[in-house]
Amino acid sequence: MNEEQQSLLLNCSSRFPPPQGVKLSYGTAGFRAHASLLQSTVYRVGILAALRSLKTHSVIGLMITASHNKVSDNGVKIADPNGGMLSQQWEPFADALANAPSPQDLIRLISEFVEKENISFDGGRPVEVLLGRDTRPSGDSLLKAATEGITSIVGAVAIDMGILTTPQLHWMVHARNKALGALEHDYFEQLSSSFRCLMDLIPMGSKSKEPNNNLVVDGANGVGGVKLQILEKLLNSLVIEVRNTGKDGGVLNEGVGADYVQKEKVVPRSFGSNDVGKRCVSLDGDADRLVYFSVPPGSSTKIDLVDGDKILSLFALFIKEQLSILNEKEAKNEKGSYEARLGVVQTAYANGASTDYLKQLGLEVILTPTGVKYLHEKAAEFDVGIYFEANGHGTILFSESFICWLEARNNELCSVSKGSERQKAALRLLAVSKLINQAVGDALGGLLLVEVILQHLGWSIHRWNELYEDLPSRQLKVKVEDRTAVVTANAETVAVRPPGIQEAINSETAKYHQGRSFIRPSGTEDVIRVYAEASTQEAADRLANSVTKIVDQFLGFGRS
């Protein structure tokens, strides 16, 4: 790193001193904190984004959002060249960068890192970072800090893409690096054209059994509701009513949104008894999650929740059906047949009833540690990999080799049996790969795919919700001095430290019909999280409380 570069970094960094007594850590959600604490961190992540662009010779994304957090918070995260999350190998550098105490320490850290990574500041490589932000009032000032960080690397260019959903920015990075149209109207056109294609391929005679086929959407007073209103104008077969757009004075994520609805299991604001019988859906603040719900008769606040586990199950059912059509017996011996590997990825927090249902379908179900980065990485190992968390974050990944085969297969079938069920199945799968975001969970694409599949199957939301009945569950947490005292294995389902704690949990769990329980250390605070399931809510509550006592006995602190 030459003197000019060092001088530029030194001058810029001195204007963004880190907050005293605050230590931040880059996780699945990037950095998040109260917005007032983030100027220095966002500036430094701008530097990181520019270095990542130099290293990968690609366009990188930087998104300013705190998703489902309260409006006073904000955050920042990186989109890698494939549109996915920042490489895990760079997370320790991100932590060190954010927490460097002085400009001199920052420059020394960067110098050591670029030498280790063999990053050259030769000025001949394109360095572009796409910037996006959600609707938070703090977003504009943080965007300026990010821009200064990016441009403090000589030759780096920051491109402001405006107010976006998080999935839109990830999609734009992915498209830009594939030399495809990467503007917002390109995103809307891809989603709407794929949706129309799938609707045109719905079998004759399929018809939803909903008494009211309109969809009512809770926009969480965030960016998603606004973008959905734009997208709806490009759709010709779906009527969407969007509430909680933020235009009526509603506060972002306050009593609204997917996180609130999924955790509290009550209607969001602006919903109530007048919505009985309607198909409803909640987005989160930056529109990378969604959950469906309906208001049961006689209720004004309670809901029947259709969470991410059931969204996954619906998607898996549909994809499996299309793959089965492509691989019918008469097609087995044809030249070019392809046995696609379909896999479903969940965490231990997935309801046990959902996992049982997926296995009954004959699907390969894999568990990973908690965190989208683990789910996404594992799903990418399949020809078609589907992952979802119960909170409504997930997507469907198609391998490039399978997409190439599908395109060739569609062309072949078009010439010999155009309009056949096998050709329609190939077209459906190709359309799904464009409708569903290949980079990250996307509430808008996910919503449109749910709507298509319900129409395809002729199902109401109530029929969908009857796929299986969730086992009652309870989540608690135990305060500890050091969360690293608990070490887990087998996708966090087994505690291997402290010695003996897993045996105690197993002994307690065995007392309950359909009992299941596990503990795991929080990734953000000094607590141990406890999850329990059983055949009744009372039993699940008792099991969860018993396991918290076990954690207390082994670690010596009280329950929170």
What is the secondary structure of 204-247 as a DSSP string? TT-----SS--EEEE-TTSHHHHHHHHHHTT-SS--EEEE--ST
Report the relative pairing of strands 279-283 and 240-243 from DSSP bridges.
Answer: unpaired
Is 67 among the catalytic positions?
A: yes
Tell me 133's DSSP state.
E
Q: Is 336 annotated as a binding residue?
A: no
State residue 291 phi and psi, 5-degree precision: -135, 145
Amino acid at 370: T
Question: What is the rounded radius of gyration, in angstroms, for the C-alpha atoms of the chain?
Answer: 24
Question: Cα separation of 356 and 480, whole Å?
Answer: 33
The answer to whether the beta carbons of residues 528 and 478 sit under 8 Å apart is yes
Helix 103-116 with 3-13: angle, nearest 10 deg = 140
Tokens of 452: 């298509």
Give me the catalytic one of 13, 53, 58, 67.
Answer: 67
The answer to whether the beta carbons of residues 139 and 74 sit under 8 Å apart is yes
Question: Cα separation of 90 and 196, whole Å?
Answer: 40
Instruction: Tell me how many degrees the CA angle 175-177-181 measures, rounded to the nearest 5.
Output: 35
Q: Is 389 annotated as a binding residue?
A: yes
**3-181: CATH number:** 3.40.120.10
Q: Is 390 annotated as a binding residue?
A: yes
Q: How many CA atoms lie within 13 A of 249 on its CB side?
A: 0
The sign of the dihedral angle between the CA atoms of 168, 172, 173, 178 is positive
Confirm or reject CATH 1.10.1660.10 for domain 473-555, answering yes or no.
Answer: no
Q: How many CA atoms lie within 13 A of 55 on its CB side?
A: 20
Question: Cα separation of 307 and 389, whole Å?
Answer: 9
Q: With helix as H, strand as E and coil as C, how does 405-458 read?
A: HHHHHHHHHHHHHCCCHHHHHHHHHHHHHHHCCCCCCCHHHHHHHHHHHHHHHC
Report the relative pairing of strands 157-163 and 128-133 from DSSP bridges.
Answer: parallel
Q: Is 75 annotated as a binding residue?
A: no
The sign of the dihedral angle between the CA atoms of 225, 229, 230, 234 is positive
Is the previous residue joined to 369 through a cis bond, with omega within 30 degrees of 0? no
Q: Is 488 annotated as a binding residue?
A: no
Q: Is 56 annotated as a binding residue?
A: no
Tokens of 250: 């509603």
Question: Cα separation of 389 and 372, whole Å?
Answer: 8
Report the residue count for the chain: 560
Q: Is 442 annotated as a binding residue?
A: no
What single string gives the DSSP state of each residue in 25-70?
Answer: --BTTBEEEEGGG-HHHHHHHHHHHHHHHHHHTS-EEEEE--TTS-
Residue position matching structure tokens 């297969």: 409
Residue position matching structure tokens 């961190």: 41
Chain-centroid distance, C-alpha 212: 29
Is the previous residue joined to 18 through a cis bond, with omega within 30 degrees of 0? no
Q: Is 288 annotated as a binding residue?
A: yes
Q: Is 80 annotated as a binding residue?
A: no
CB atoms within 10 A of CB 121: 17
Chain-centroid distance, C-alpha 274: 31
Predicted pLDDT at 489? 96
Residues forming CATH 3.40.120.10 domain(s) in the chain: 3-181
Amino acid at 470: D
Q: Is 327 annotated as a binding residue?
A: no
Residues forming CATH 3.30.310.50 domain(s) in the chain: 473-555
Question: Cα separation of 133 and 127, whole Å?
Answer: 20
Helix 91-99 with 103-116: angle, nearest 10 deg = 160
Residue pLDDT tens, the chain, 560 long: 888 899 999 999 999 999 999 999 998 889 999 999 999 999 999 999 999 999 999 999 999 999 999 999 999 999 999 999 999 999 999 999 999 999 999 999 999 999 999 998 876 678 999 999 999 999 999 999 999 999 999 999 999 999 999 999 999 999 999 999 999 999 999 999 999 999 999 998 766 555 556 899 999 999 999 999 999 999 988 999 999 999 888 999 999 999 999 999 999 999 999 999 899 999 999 999 999 999 999 988 999 999 999 999 999 999 999 999 998 754 555 555 678 999 999 999 999 999 999 999 999 999 999 989 999 999 999 999 999 999 999 999 999 999 999 999 999 988 888 889 999 999 999 999 999 999 999 999 999 999 999 999 999 999 999 999 999 999 999 999 888 999 999 999 999 999 999 999 999 999 999 999 999 998 767 899 999 999 999 999 999 999 999 999 998 754 44
Question: Cα separation of 218 and 462, whole Å?
Answer: 19
Q: Among 273, 51, 227, which Cα is nearest to 135's? A: 227
Q: Is 301 annotated as a binding residue?
A: no
What global pTM score does this model have?
Answer: 0.94
Chain-centroid distance, C-alpha 454: 22
Instruction: Tell me how many degrees the CA angle 23-263-275 measures, rounded to the nearest 5.
Output: 140
Tokens of 267: 């209607």
Question: Cα separation of 516 and 356, whole Å?
Answer: 13
